[in-house]
Chains A and B, each alone.
Chain A
Amino acid sequence: MIVINVKIFEGDFMTKWDKMLIALILVLSIGALVFISAMAMNYDNSYVKISIDGELYKKYSLDGTLDKKITIDTDKGTNVIHIEKGFVYMEESSCPDKTCIKQGSIDRPGEIIVCLPNKVTVEITGETESGPDAVSH
């Protein structure tokens, strides 16, 4: 016979500290989300950056007219990235989980598609115009 000392909580359900913890995380996360989307508004030009294994592979200017399929072949697998009408999405991937395809399309700076098994990342970055144009903007 083993005596196991098990502590069971008096109330058993959520304590006020639980609720405070949950509220705190919720507020911080929503704040971070708002901050991220506010950051994405401040750009004039956006670019698509495709990186393999942390190194920049290709960079395209993202405007509504570009229609391009990029095939990436590495020793880890194959990915097909489609840029269309200002949106970018992963069209095909040889990875087992297909998370990158399920993620759908991205179009705003700060958004990112990751294919972990193939170590491919597709991110949209923004740049602010400088010079007289930016002022008159």
Chain B
Amino acid sequence: MNTREYIFLALLTTGALVLTILEGMIPLPFIAPGARLGLANMVVLSVIVVFGFKKGLTVAVLKSILVLLVAGNPIGFIYSISGAILSTIVMHLSYKYLNGYLSLIGVSVLGALSHNTAQVVVAAAVLENIKILIYLPVMYIVSLFTGCFVGYAGIFIVRNLKKQISIGW
């Protein structure tokens, strides 16, 4: 890990933060509590593919902490960080072991599903109410669409990132 890489990862983390803030400004019809586009997942997904699991996890966790500092929502932080950690682990494992079967679209869909699962399960644990799990099917259907979009974008990001690194590193 050299300075260039540090700076590059810091820039990517900032990009993820900006994407999170921007997606909060997009008005969306209410579907389920906590349903988001998950644009920042594009960054985490590409970092996992290009730089590996540890750096992907670092970016995901740092992004959650930065969002906490910017948005100042400590309750939301618990859900976002548990979702971020689980989805990073799932995306890494599915990229590593299911590579060849699933493209980045499938990896990203699995990441989105696990992100939702972690969030809803933590919410159910905090509120001590198992019925919150009733939201899961709706959130799964929504995350299929957002997951496809993020995976599709991830393919292009990875391609360009790789090109950039091979030229300028």
Nearest 3 pairs of A and B residues by beta carbon = A54-B128, A18-B106, A32-B137
A78 at the interface (CB under 8 A from B): no
Secondary structure at the B interface, as helix, strand, loop or mixed, is helix
Interface residues of A, Cβ cutoff 8 Å to B? 1-2, 4, 6-9, 11-15, 17-18, 21-22, 25-26, 28-30, 32-33, 36, 51, 53-55, 96-97, 99-100, 102-104, 110-112, 114, 116-117, 119, 121, 123
State the total of A-B contacts with C-beta under 8 angstroms: 129
**Smallest Cβ distance from B52 to chain A, in angstroms?**
9
B5 at the interface (CB under 8 A from A): yes
B75 at the interface (CB under 8 A from A): yes
Cβ–Cβ < 8 Å partners of A53 in chain B: 127-128
List CB contacts (< 8 Å) of B31-78 with chain A.
33-34, 49-51, 72-73, 75-76
Question: Which single member of B30, B126, B137, B141 contacts A103 (CB below 8 Å)?
Answer: B30
B7 at the interface (CB under 8 A from A): no
**Smallest Cβ distance from B118 to chain A, in angstroms?**
14
Given A6-B49, A29-B140, A116-B33, verify A22-B148 contact (CB < 8 Å).
Answer: yes
Q: A8 near B33 (CB under 8 angstroms)?
A: no
**Smallest Cβ distance from A48 to chain B, in angstroms?**
13
Question: Which single member of A7, A12, A103 contacts B155 (CB below 8 Å)?
Answer: A12
Across the interface, name the chain B residue whose C-beta is closest to A21.
B106
